[in-house]
Amino acid sequence: MESQRFEARARGREALVAGARGLLVAVTGLAGSIGLFVLTVVSLLLVPVGVGIVTTPRVLTAVRAFADARRLVAARWCGVRIRPVYRPLPEGANPWARCSGMLRDPATWRDVRWLLFDMTAGWVTALLPAVLVLYPLEGFALALGLWRVFTDGTHVGWWYGFVPISGQASALAAGALGAVLLAASLYLSPLLLRLHFRVTRAVLASGEGELAERVRVLTETRREAVDTSAAELRRIERDLHDGAQARLVAVGMDLGTVEALIEKDPARAKHLLAQARRSSAEALTELRDLVRGIHPPVLAERGLGDAIRALALSLPPVSEVDVDLAGRVEAPVESAAYFAVSEVLANAVKHSGADRLWIDVHHRDGTLRITVTDNGRGGARVGAGSGLGGIERRLGTFDGVLAVSSPAGGPTRVTLEIPCVLS
C-alpha cells in the first residue's frame, strides 16, 4: 500500500513537471519562433539590396542557437537526441562568404521550416501536457458550483468536454470526467511531452539525406582532427627544438668545457658546472610543461573531474566545480572534454571580465554534459573569433554538441555534450 502511494506521488510529480515544461516550451517557443521567423524573412528580403548580406548570418546564427537550445532541452528532459549537422564556415570569412555558406547549408532551411512548425503544430503538441494537467481543474470547479455562473439550471450554458452542463447532476458528471482526465494525465503528460520532442526531431533531422550528411560531417571532422594533430605535432617539435633541446645542447657544451678546464681552472669549471645544473633544471621544467600540455598527468591519474578541479584552481576568478561521475570516461573523450573546458575557461577569463565561474560535470543517459557559467559581460557566440568554433569542431569528432547562451550583459552559459559510456 505504501509503495503504491509512493508510486502515485511520483507519477503526480512527473505529470506536473511535464505539464510545466510543456507550458514553458510552448510560451518561449511561440515567442521565439515568431520573432526569429519574421527576422529571417525580412533579412532574406534585404539580401538583394546588400543589407541582408550583413544581417542574415547574424539572424541565422540566432536561429541556430535557438534550435540548439531546443536540442539540449529535448535531450535533458526526455532523452531525445537531435543531432545538429551544420556545415562548418571558414574562419575569418567575409560577410558574403558567411551569408552564402549558411544559405547553401540544407540545415539552415530545416531550421526555418522548424520555426514554422514550432509556432503552429509544435505549439499545440507542447501545450497538450499542460492542458491535460490543468483541464481537470475546470471539471472540479464546475462540480463544486461554478456551473451556476454559466447556466440558469434549465438550459445548457457550458460544455465540459463532451458533457453539457445544465445543472448540478451534469456538473458532477463533469467532475467525474475531470477525475478520469487527471488520472490519465499521470501517464499521458510525460508521453505527450516526449512526443513533442520526437516530432521536433523529425522536423529538424535531415530526413532522407541524413546518412550522406553524417558521412560528410564525419569526413570533415576527421580531416580537421588530422590537421589539428599535425599542427600539434609541429608545435611539439618546435617547442622541443627551441626549448629543451637547445638547453640540453648547451649543457653538453658546458660539460665538455668543464672537462677541459677541470685541472687548469677549477674555479671556472665549478662555475660552468653550476650553469649546466641550472640549464638541466630549466630543460626538465620545459619538458614537464610540454608533457602537461600534451596530456596532463592529473587527467591520466585522477580522471576528468579532478583534472577540471585542478584547472579551475589555477584561474583568477572564484570557481565552483560540481562533479557527478560514477566512473572514468573513455581516454580520447576525456582528453577532448578536458581541453575543450580548458579553452572555454580561457575564453571566460580573457574576454568576459567575470569574477566567478560555475562548472557542472555529470553523466546522464549515456551523455557527458559539462556546463560552464560565468557572470561576465556576455556577448559570446560561436564563430566570433572566440575559439568556440574550434571547440565545436573538436567535439564534432566525437559526435558532440556545443551550445552557447550569452545575452548582452551576461551571464554566459556554455554547454558541452558528448555521447559516451563510463568505465
Are 374 and 333 within one domain?
yes
The pLDDT score that the predictor gives to residue 169 is: 82
Average pLDDT rounded to a whole number, residues 302-312: 86
Measured CA to CA, the distance from residue 412 to residue 107 in angstroms comes to 25
Task: State yes or no: pLDDT of 226 exceeds 80.
Answer: no
**How many domains would you assign to the chain?**
3
From 155, 176, 205, the end of a domain falls on: 205
Are 129 and 229 within one domain?
no
Encode burial over 183-205: b for 16+ CB neighbours within 10 A, e otherwise: eebbebbbebbbbbbebbbebbb
Range of lowest pLDDT (115-119, 267-271, 352-356): 267-271
The answer to whether position 311 is within a domain reads yes
Confidence of residue 405 (pLDDT cuts 50, 70, 90): confident
Write out the residue range of the structural domain in which residue 357 sits.
299-419
From 149, 179, 205, the end of a domain falls on: 205
Encode burial over 64-95: b for 16+ CB neighbours within 10 A, e otherwise: bbbbbbbbbbbbebbebbbbbbbebbeeeeee
Average pLDDT rounded to a whole number, residues 354-377: 87
84, 111 contact by CB (below 8 A):
no
The pLDDT score that the predictor gives to residue 376 is: 83
Are 232 and 105 within one domain?
no
The pLDDT score that the predictor gives to residue 312 is: 85
The pLDDT score that the predictor gives to residue 422 is: 82
Range of lowest pLDDT (101-110, 221-230, 388-397): 221-230
The pLDDT score that the predictor gives to residue 117 is: 93
Average pLDDT rounded to a whole number, residues 305-321: 86
Are 139 and 278 within one domain?
no
403, 64 contact by CB (below 8 A):
no
Exposure of 160 in the CB half-sphere (CA atoms within 13 A) = 28
Q: 216 versus 250: which is more confidently predicted?
A: 250
Are 275 and 166 within one domain?
no
For the stretch 5-55, pLDDT in tens is: 667 677 878 888 888 999 999 999 999 999 999 999 999 999 989 898 999
Are 192 and 276 within one domain?
no
Confidence of residue 194 (pLDDT cuts 50, 70, 90): very high
The pLDDT score that the predictor gives to residue 40 is: 94
Are 184 and 251 within one domain?
no
Average pLDDT rounded to a whole number, residues 395-410: 79
Are 253 and 360 within one domain?
no
Range of lowest pLDDT (2-11, 179-188, 261-270): 2-11
- 251: number of Cβ within 10 Å: 18
Task: State yes or no: pLDDT of 360 exceeds 80.
Answer: yes
Average pLDDT rounded to a whole number, residues 92-108: 86
The pLDDT score that the predictor gives to residue 243 is: 61
The answer to whether position 215 is within a domain reads no
From 245, 272, 294, the end of a domain falls on: 294
Task: State yes or no: pLDDT of 115 exceeds 90.
Answer: yes
Are 150 and 256 within one domain?
no
The answer to whether position 63 is within a domain reads yes
Q: 356 versus 280: which is more confidently predicted?
A: 356
Helix runs in 145-209, H state only: 168-204
Task: State yes or no: pLDDT of 64 exceeds 60.
Answer: yes
Are 174 and 288 within one domain?
no
Q: Mean pLDDT over all residues of the chain? A: 80
Are 57 and 82 within one domain?
yes
Task: State yes or no: pLDDT of 230 exceeds 60.
Answer: no
Range of lowest pLDDT (98-102, 366-370, 410-414): 410-414
CA angle (340, 344, 349) in 5-degree steps: 145
- 286: number of Cβ within 10 Å: 19
Task: State yes or no: pLDDT of 134 exceeds 90.
Answer: no
Residue 359 is inside which H or E element, if any? strand 356-364
Task: State yes or no: pLDDT of 294 exceeds 60.
Answer: no
The pLDDT score that the predictor gives to residue 338 is: 85
Give the CATH number, domain containing residue 321: 3.30.565.10
User: Is the link from the previous residue into 190 a cis peptide, with omega within 30 of 0?
Assistant: no
Which is it for strands 163-165 and 158-160: parallel, antiparallel or unpaired? antiparallel
The pLDDT score that the predictor gives to residue 178 is: 85
